Amino acid sequence: MTTTTYETQIEADADVPLIRITREFDAPRSKVFRAHVDPELVKQWLGPRGYEMRVLHFECRTGGSYRYEHLDGDSTYGFYGSFHEVRPDEMIVQTFTYDGMPDGVALERLVLTDLGDGRTRLVVTSLCDSFADRDAMIASGMEDGIRQSYERLDELLA
Amino acid sequence: MTTTTYETQIEADADVPLIRITREFDAPRSKVFRAHVDPELVKQWLGPRGYEMRVLHFECRTGGSYRYEHLDGDSTYGFYGSFHEVRPDEMIVQTFTYDGMPDGVALERLVLTDLGDGRTRLVVTSLCDSFADRDAMIASGMEDGIRQSYERLDELLA
């Protein structure tokens, strides 16, 4: 089976301290949504290639919360947050903190649009407290991790 | 008993779509914190005077969530969100949505500072998606509601 790889657009907003990620997938919206909600599926694509993902808890529902770790050899990177709102197949709004920057909190919104013909557009916005925090997030090398994650998601969806 | 009423400062940030509220209280930090965490106390001060507050659920802990309503005669205003992180006596980070604007989400951070002599400074920041949303929130008349809430909190703490 051939997997089409779309480009992942990652933009820093000019007016507000926000990062906007846009990506298309050759899969129906409900399938892309499920891959974000079911921790057994999330573990298979979220994070850079070669990292193992350990889910401590992951309740993707309005009012739920999550904690997971990415393991890279002897290094462990922990992340946690809460799910503000989950609208099936459409939208997930959640908070996000990296353990290494415990005072930095991002407000993330995932929106999925049905493009027809079994294709889906994903837009994730990540709103930070300040331009300094937003720019530090970009400088951390997150872009490679995101591109690799979505390539892994293509493979899972295929 | 005399209750000192401090001024409530409400500022719109110039650089990011954020509202910053600053207020002092003649009460120890742990007491101000408890008044934000215990729903039986929250009901006694949160909201404009004359409104009744009905708490549907309110679990103020890291990973918890809340939903409450303000009742003004025949009108009901609902609010909900999740608690990203709760650090006892120090900080609460939560999300906030008003039912009437279901796509608007604010990321709120409460920080309490012990000023000594039984006094506490409260700073609440509310980060919105856009300047338009932030300015709509200010234009909604929130300022009066906040000032009245904190006067009611003074009375509860006295």
CA-nearest residue to A57 within chain B is: B63
* Beta strands A65-72 and B18-25, pairing class: unpaired
pLDDT band at B3 (very low <50, low <70, confident <90, very high): low
Max CA separation in chain A (angstroms): 44
Q: Which residue in B80, B127, B131 is closest to A107 by CB distance?
A: B127
Residues B81 and B58 sit within 8 Å (Cβ to Cβ): no
CA distance B38 to B32: 11
The per-residue pLDDT of chain A, averaged, comes to 95
Average of per-residue pLDDT across A119-140: 93
Minimum distance, in Å, between the CA of residue B91 and any CA atom of chain A: 10
pLDDT band at A3 (very low <50, low <70, confident <90, very high): low
pLDDT band at B142 (very low <50, low <70, confident <90, very high): confident
* Predicted pLDDT of residue A140: 81
The per-residue pLDDT of chain B, averaged, comes to 95
| Complex prediction ipTM | 0.93
Does A1 have pLDDT greater than 60? no
Give the number of other Cβ atoms within 10 Å of residue B58's Cβ.
17
Minimum distance, in Å, between the CA of residue A13 and any CA atom of chain B: 11
* Predicted pLDDT of residue A141: 80
Angle between helices A131-139 and A142-157 (to 10 degrees): 60
Select from A91, A155, A149, A84 the least CA-distant residue to A123. Answer: A91
Task: Give pLDDT tens digits for A29-79.
Answer: 999 999 999 999 999 999 999 999 999 999 999 999 999 999 999 999 999
Does A101 have pLDDT greater than 70? yes
High-pLDDT (> 90) share of chain A, %: 89
Any A CB within 8 A of B8 CB: no
High-pLDDT (> 90) share of chain B, %: 89
Select from B120, B65, B116 the least CA-distant residue to B89. Answer: B120
CA-nearest residue to B130 within chain A is: A16
* Predicted pLDDT of residue B82: 98
Write out the E strands in A13-64.
18-25, 52-58
* Predicted pLDDT of residue A4: 66
pLDDT band at B141 (very low <50, low <70, confident <90, very high): confident
* Predicted pLDDT of residue B137: 86
pLDDT band at A2 (very low <50, low <70, confident <90, very high): low
* Predicted pLDDT of residue B4: 66
Residues in chain A closer than 8 A to B131 (CB atoms)? 15-16
Minimum distance, in Å, between the CA of residue B154 and any CA atom of chain A: 29
Asked if the Cβ–Cβ distance from A107 to B107 is below 8 Å, we say yes
Which stretch of A112-116, B42-46, B98-102, B114-118 has the lowest confidence by average pLDDT? B98-102
Task: Give pLDDT tens digits for A137-153.
Answer: 888 888 999 999 999 99
